[in-house]
Structure 1
Amino acid sequence: MGTVLKVPFSIIWDLALLEPSPKFRSFLLQKNLGMGTYYWLGGRMMALFFNQPSRLNTQKRILTLALLICVAATALGFRLFKIQLLDGNGYGRAALRQRTQGVAWGFARGDFLDAKGQPLTGRGGVWKAVLFPNTEGFGKLTVPILSGLADVNAAWLQTAIAEGRPIKMPYAFDDASRLALENMRLPGLVFAEEPRRYGEPLAVHVIGYLAGDAGIAGLEYQLDAELSGKGSSRLAATVDAAARPISGLGIRHQEAAPDNAGWDVVLTIDRDLQEIVEHAMDVKGIRGAIVAVDPRNGDVLAMASRPQFDPENAGLYLQSEHAPFINRAISAYFPGSVFKIAIAVAALENGICAPESRFVDSGSIEIGQHQFHCHRKEGHGELSFSDAFAESCNTVFVAVGQTLGARAIVATAEKLGIGKLTNIGLRDENAGSLPVGWPLLPADIANLTLGQKGVSATPLQVALMASAIANGGILHVPRLVAELRTNDGVVVRTFTPDAGQRVMKPSTAQKMQQMMRQCVSQGTGMAAAGIEGGSAGKTGTAETGRTTPEGMPINNAWFVGFAPGTPGQEPSLCMAILIEDGQSGSVTAAPLFAEILAAFVALKE
């Protein structure tokens, strides 16, 4: 081993200063070393001293490399965490799909729910058959049987077999046919119940329909982005390398990923009331519309239009002469005598008359060179304004309208929502109309007063007009959509009712309530009575200008009214009924109001 030279610290200090001291010289002589050794040691010390920055740079490079390694390790760890824990289910489904073959089954689109969460879509199902052509024995046993079925197109079947992939047959099977084929245990033939979006159609003009996966009409169109999901569930079989279903593993239903599902739409519709309304319309074969709203907040509780269509097979109705795609609840019609509600409000608000003001009806009134007649030819004689409203006396209202003038009538009607969109959120809504040219001739004002010229309104607008009276003079913007939520019930967006706008004095609303109750208790709306606590309303019969082959006029029948949802409570239900080609409001529409209201109240008790 070599000799180790032990140098005292004081000598090292001398080396650093390059100045040998007597003590250091003595040290060199003791070790038999010369001054050359001294200067060599000093040079090494200086080299070490001046090379210090190089050492620092090396340390910096090592530190930077260590930091990069730490960052890379962190990124790799995060990636592994994401793959294993966050995306693990998705990769698992992807791996499963590689080992399976199947067909789309249902879709990830959100559903429509009523105000209580009851489903309005997806309530039914239909049996469909799925073919797996690669199954052993399919060509020899299954194909001949299917080819013999009356509804199966042989050319389509051969094309499907040639593709070699599972395919869903575009036919629905009734229970008898399905059970018969299932009992044959045919290879590669599987039956499953596929959900139908419109299995039991309800509120179809509100909800709308689809073309493929896209909304075409109604709220399906308006909320298409919110309803749409990604992908779909599948009906699949586990297959081998040759794409043949593996015997014994069966067919499984693979649900779509929950995070890919569209949002559910919660409506303000009351499904119970909607069913009552639609059943009543169908039983009586009515063509027209019915709209029910809650006057306290503007919520639309029911909206039905007839004729309607089957949203599962909408294409079959495109050439129908009855225009089933038109939502008559938001289409404009002459309002007839229900417009006397607006005239009465204008008269009371402008101080033209009071409910007890007296008039004389002789059966007709002359305005310029035109005669306007009351529906009672002999007239009503002397009566109050409230009586004239209850009896729908034309001559009294024509006279009041002349005093009011067109501008006052139009201003009041606009406040009540006539002649402008309600902003309910349905793209085909009609705004209705009011006169825009001034001045109007006296005869035009008379026809305007009777709701027969210069004015048109939708059933929704008429229901809202009456709801303002029921609500003490406050009119709400109608609300049809309450909230959006995920399919597991988490609310993602809420549509709150508006605060409402005062459109008449509270005293005017109170007087109008009394006048509308009188109309039902002893006037033209008596057929609308029938529940404890009383109803209120107004009839209307609007001429269409058309006649029957026998020359009889064709009229549209109206009734609009309100009543408590439960006897003895404040008004919570306001309903407008329009019946196309109806005899009259008192004969056709008013009884239907009573029937629907009685059924709804009975259901709530």
Structure 2
Amino acid sequence: MRRPERHTEAAGRTVTRRALVVGASQLAMIGALGWRMQSMQVEQAEDYRLLAEENRVNIRLLPPARGNIFDVNGVPLAVNEQNYRIVMVREDAGDVDATLARLQQIVDIDDETIASAREEVMRLSPFVPVTIADRVSWEDISRVTVNAPALPGITAEVGLSRFYPRGSDTAHVVGYVGPVSDYDLAQIDDQDPLLQIPKFQIGKTGVENKLEQQLRGSAGNRRIEVNALGRVMRELDRHEGEPGADIQLTIDSALQSYTEARLEGESASVVVIDLANGDLRAIASAPTFDPNLFVRGISVADWTGLNENIYRPLSAKTVQGAYPPGSTFKMMTALAALEAGVIDAEETVYCPGYHDVGGTRFHCWRRGGHGNINLHESLKQSCDVYYYDVAQRVGIEAMAAMARKFGLGERHDVPMSAVSAGIVPDRAWKAESRGEDWRIGDTVNASIGQGYVLTSPIQLAIMTARIATGRIVTPRLIHTIDGVEQPSGLGESLGLNENLMRRIRASMSDVVNHQRGTGYGARIVMDGYRMAGKSGTSQVRRITAEERARGVISNADLPWERRDHALWVNFAPVEAPRYAVSVVVEHGGGGSSAAAPIGRDVTLQAMFGGEPPLEAYPSNVRGTIEAQQARIRDFVPPGMRTGERA
């Protein structure tokens, strides 16, 4: 039956609409697919190419060359040397145990090293290269290279390792580097990816540690192509990192070497400051140690020997040590009293050998006393009673303020490890730290550098430098960083009465150059080189009344650790000071006998730029000095004996 014409037209319109909808949908889908293909192939092509290449391209960090460290004359103190090492990447190694076993058959590596390396390989990400053996020979590297097909994931590399050419001479100053530890990572707020490289070395102590950021540099990287087995096929590209900054210290390594040699056999420290700019020319602690031992991995025997030595060779005594300054503090008490106007320089105090304070007897070092004595004589002969009396008049607050003005009780900004602030006590300090009131006996003890007063050798050198110049001399250890000179440490005027300062300097001169001075035996006799100084002897034990009654036990009859500390400070030449020196000999006994000769010898070495003539010494010690100089010539390496410059 034929359909009506109107039905045919309606059906045609319906088909046409459906065709248009379907066609439009198809066109939209084709357009979306085309847009997506264009986006993936053109706009995102690089991203997808990299995703695909992750199966064949590895990116590895390139550690930068660490900055070198030099002395003030350009002598290398810390440098980098090439070394060969064997590295494993777990992702490429397959069976780690089997590969390590084959490596051990090819290269002589002990079981302990292999076990330690395996633990690190399994602990870290499979992409991270782990050093299996360091400082291996060229022959071992050749064997690894020849047997590469049997050692998947194992590669031989050439790297840089730290080396300290001066060895123990500058160990406490320069410090040393060592592998990054979990403890280091916990202490360092640093996201540098270099720190994640196993056995990457960072500064552990000294300048190496304090200037780590400048010395480290920044990482580079390289892209390497590997085959399906993970074997390196070729290097695609390389971007070298930025090497660390070179650091030049103010230390004169010739003087430093001499000083270390002069301190041989002692537990002692010496600091030498150049008064023209505050530069530290020598900062020596004895005994010392070889920092190269730590770079290469110190043995248990070596570590035990250093750690259990009662002379504490690992301690930088110059900045870490805190000692009662003894009579070297008397200049602070005298200046506080003079500035406050409570004494006149010519006023005398009677010294019968003791001073009574509230029923307690404080003794002078000279049992029979000094009689009537003024300021000048009190310093020259180091009378204790004079300072007991003066301290009661001026008070601890003025004494403490003067001591701080001269750099005591301050943690100075020197890039060395564990710098001590020492203690300059006052009423507030005792209330806060001890929970007790200040007593007059505390003031009396403090007046001669005993009681609660503690100072470091570097603080004593700074104090002496400020006495010699009348300026706020601050210590400078870093001369330049990448050639840029660091600020001078000369400083502004102290603002003290120069006439009073001259009196103190004249008294210190007579300590050494007058026959009745306590340091006369350590004098310099050559005109133009004479020095001014002050000795100190600080007790480490309490002498009871019973012991005084029957006779004080001499230091020589006591165990070493119960003997007094010997201290000495000086500046020279007297007429135009160039250097300030401090010396502390732990448990050395008397400052004049044990510490002053060291100060004289180091001062002469600094002023002459090398070995001084025998004529600079008193005639009665020239034979001893000649033998001493011969010994030190054997100790100090050639080229560093007479101030020769590299």
| TM-score above 0.5, yes or no | yes
Task: Check if 1:563 corresponds to 2:575.
Answer: no
* Residue aligned with 2:423, SS: coil
Task: Check if 1:296 corresponds to 2:276.
Answer: yes
- For residue 449 of structure 1, the aligned residue among 447, 450, 461 is 447
Contact 1:277 1:302 in 2 (8 A): yes
Counterpart Cα distance in 1 of 2:117 and 2:341:
78
Counterpart Cα distance in 2 of 1:581 and 1:455:
17
Deviation of 1:152 (Å): 8.4
Which residue pairs with 2:532 in the alignment? 536
Counterpart Cα distance in 1 of 2:85 and 2:157:
5
* Residue aligned with 1:297, SS: coil
Counterpart Cα distance in 1 of 2:119 and 2:427:
66
Deviation of 1:403 (Å): 2.6
Which residue pairs with 1:284 in the alignment? 265
Query: Residues 436, 167 of structure 1: CA spacing in aligned structure 2 closer, same or farther, 3 A cutoff?
Result: closer
* Residue aligned with 2:330, SS: helix
Which residue pairs with 1:226 in the alignment? 214
Task: Tell me which structure has the larger Cα radius of gyration.
Answer: 1
Counterpart Cα distance in 1 of 2:230 and 2:288:
45
* Residue aligned with 2:539, SS: strand
Task: Letter of the 1:581 partner, please give it.
Answer: H
Under a length normalisation based on structure 1, what TM-score does the superposition of the two structures give?
A: 0.66
- For residue 119 of structure 1, the aligned residue among 76, 99, 123 is 76
* Residue aligned with 2:474, SS: coil
Larger mean CA deviation between 528-537 and 144-153 belongs to 144-153
Task: Check if 1:109 corresponds to 2:66.
Answer: yes
Query: Residues 365, 144 of structure 1: CA spacing in aligned structure 2 closer, same or farther, 3 A cutoff?
Result: closer
Deviation of 1:579 (Å): 1.9
- For residue 248 of structure 2, the aligned residue among 260, 266, 269 is 266
- For residue 162 of structure 2, the aligned residue among 188, 192, 196 is 196
Which residue pairs with 1:509 in the alignment? 501
Contact 2:570 2:580 in 1 (8 A): yes
Query: Residues 233, 562 of structure 1: CA spacing in aligned structure 2 closer, same or farther, 3 A cutoff?
Result: farther
Q: Summarize deviations over 1:109-157 as a string: whole Å, max 9, x none.
A: 212222233322117x5865658999xxxx9xx9687556779856689
* Residue aligned with 1:304, SS: strand
Q: Report 1:244-255 matches (<5 A).
A: none
Larger mean CA deviation between 502-511 and 580-589 belongs to 502-511
Count of aligned positions? 483
Query: Residues 383, 314 of structure 1: CA spacing in aligned structure 2 closer, same or farther, 3 A cutoff?
Result: farther
Contact 1:364 1:372 in 2 (8 A): yes
Under a length normalisation based on structure 2, what TM-score does the superposition of the two structures give?
A: 0.62
Q: Report 1:515-534 matches (<5 A).
A: 515-521=507-513, 522=515, 523-530=517-524, 532=526, 533-534=529-530
Counterpart Cα distance in 1 of 2:355 and 2:443:
13
Task: Letter of the 1:591 partner, please give it.
Answer: P
Contact 1:531 1:598 in 2 (8 A): no
Counterpart Cα distance in 2 of 1:422 and 1:144:
51
Query: Residues 156, 329 of structure 1: CA spacing in aligned structure 2 closer, same or farther, 3 A cutoff?
Result: closer
Task: Check if 1:394 corresponds to 2:384.
Answer: yes
Task: Letter of the 2:589 partner, please give it.
Answer: Q
Contact 2:86 2:132 in 1 (8 A): yes
Query: Residues 122, 427 of structure 1: CA spacing in aligned structure 2 closer, same or farther, 3 A cutoff?
Result: closer
Q: Report 1:564-603 matches (<5 A).
A: 564=573, 570-600=576-606, 601=608, 602=610, 603=642
Q: Report 1:75-86 matches (<5 A).
A: none
Which residue pairs with 1:479 in the alignment? 476
Query: Residues 305, 161 of structure 1: CA spacing in aligned structure 2 closer, same or farther, 3 A cutoff?
Result: closer
Counterpart Cα distance in 2 of 1:151 and 1:589:
50
Deviation of 1:185 (Å): 12
Deviation of 1:467 (Å): 0.6
Q: Report 1:140-219 matches (<5 A).
A: 170=133, 172=135, 187=146, 195-199=161-165, 200-210=167-177, 211-212=179-180, 213-219=201-207
- For residue 368 of structure 1, the aligned residue among 325, 347, 358 is 358
Contact 1:101 1:243 in 2 (8 A): no
* Residue aligned with 1:434, SS: coil
Deviation of 1:417 (Å): 2.0
Contact 2:275 2:490 in 1 (8 A): no
Which residue pairs with 1:320 in the alignment? 307
Task: Letter of the 2:375 partner, please give it.
Answer: F
* Residue aligned with 1:230, SS: coil
Q: Summarize deviations over 1:512-536 as a string: whole Å, max 9, x none.
A: 2211111112322234323632011
Q: Summarize deviations over 1:505-562 as a string: whole Å, max 9, x none.
A: 2222222221111111232223432363201111111112379997664322111111
Task: Check if 1:340 corresponds to 2:349.
Answer: no
Larger mean CA deviation between 328-337 and 163-172 belongs to 163-172
Contact 1:146 1:152 in 2 (8 A): no
Deviation of 1:218 (Å): 3.1
Task: Letter of the 2:364 partner, please give it.
Answer: C
* Residue aligned with 1:538, SS: strand
- For residue 381 of structure 1, the aligned residue among 362, 371, 374 is 371
Counterpart Cα distance in 1 of 2:61 and 2:247:
27
Task: Letter of the 1:205 partner, please give it.
Answer: H
Query: Residues 404, 111 of structure 1: CA spacing in aligned structure 2 closer, same or farther, 3 A cutoff?
Result: same
Which residue pairs with 1:418 in the alignment? 408
Query: Residues 604, 382 of structure 1: CA spacing in aligned structure 2 closer, same or farther, 3 A cutoff?
Result: farther
Query: Residues 256, 359 of structure 1: CA spacing in aligned structure 2 closer, same or farther, 3 A cutoff?
Result: farther
Query: Residues 270, 557 of structure 1: CA spacing in aligned structure 2 closer, same or farther, 3 A cutoff?
Result: same
Q: Which runs of 5+ in 2 are unaligned?
A: 1-55, 93-98, 148-154, 181-200, 429-436, 544-554, 611-641
Contact 2:84 2:141 in 1 (8 A): no
Which residue pairs with 1:462 in the alignment? 460
* Residue aligned with 2:604, SS: helix
Task: Letter of the 1:204 partner, please give it.
Answer: A
Deviation of 1:190 (Å): 8.4
Deviation of 1:469 (Å): 1.4
Counterpart Cα distance in 2 of 1:292 and 1:255:
47
* Residue aligned with 1:544, SS: coil
Counterpart Cα distance in 1 of 2:523 and 2:353:
27
Contact 1:337 1:450 in 2 (8 A): yes
* Residue aligned with 1:392, SS: coil
Query: Residues 243, 408 of structure 1: CA spacing in aligned structure 2 closer, same or farther, 3 A cutoff?
Result: closer
Contact 2:381 2:518 in 1 (8 A): yes
Query: Residues 544, 161 of structure 1: CA spacing in aligned structure 2 closer, same or farther, 3 A cutoff?
Result: closer
Contact 1:108 1:232 in 2 (8 A): no
Contact 2:307 2:314 in 1 (8 A): no
Counterpart Cα distance in 1 of 2:173 and 2:221:
27
Q: Summarize deviations over 1:559-599 as a string: whole Å, max 9, x none.
A: 111114xxx87212111112222212112111111222233
Q: Which runs of 5+ in 1 are unaligned?
A: 1-97, 247-253
Deviation of 1:447 (Å): 0.5
Task: Letter of the 1:540 partner, please give it.
Answer: G
Query: Residues 315, 587 of structure 1: CA spacing in aligned structure 2 closer, same or farther, 3 A cutoff?
Result: same
Identity between Structure 1 and Structure 2 (%): 27
Counterpart Cα distance in 1 of 2:486 and 2:127:
48
Counterpart Cα distance in 1 of 2:390 and 2:117:
74
Counterpart Cα distance in 2 of 1:347 and 1:571:
25
Counterpart Cα distance in 1 of 2:462 and 2:212:
27
Counterpart Cα distance in 2 of 1:239 and 1:423:
50
Counterpart Cα distance in 2 of 1:357 and 1:295:
32
